[in-house]
Amino acid sequence: MIGAIADTHAVIWYLLDSPRLSRRAVAEFERCRTTAMLVGVSSMTIIEIVYLIEKNRIPEMTLGLLKERLEQPSAPLEIVPITHDIASAVQLVPRDQVPDLPDRVIAATSVCLGVPLISRDGKIRVSDVETIW
């Protein structure tokens, strides 16, 4: 069962064990892991990771690391495909609150599933989307 959705940077920082991940975010990843819940990773995050690698903004090994972690039973990560319901839920995330389309899709994933979004994005955090940071 999905306990939270992580936005792209939260996933990257989790994978890289970065100090940029907030204490509350780390605690949420840990809570999900210890309670047999999963942290959902939107398919949009994979697309963003590929894009960020192409722009040399994150290490090339990040995508491989994500794939490795997804195969580990102890890792609390699971890919969440962009379904028709999630695509429709984009309407529930107002564009004036979250203008970036990838962010809206990821936020809509959390809204659709009724779980919080782990995100440091300031626009998302002040929107109506429940966030953890």
pLDDT (tens digit per residue) in 71-94: 998 889 999 999 999 999 999 999
Q: What structural domains and CATH numbers belong to the chain?
A: 2-132 (3.40.50.1010)
- What tokens were used for 112? 């659709």
Tokens 């429709």 locate to 88
Task: Please tell me the total number of residues recorded for the chain in this structure.
Answer: 133
Identify the pLDDT of residue 20.
96
Per-residue pLDDT of the chain (133 residues; tens, 9 = 90+): 999 999 999 999 999 999 999 999 999 999 999 998 999 999 999 999 999 999 999 999 999 999 999 999 888 999 999 999 999 999 999 999 999 999 999 999 999 999 999 999 999 999 999 999 9
| CA 93 – CA 121 distance, rounded (Å) | 14
| pLDDT value, residue 51 | 97
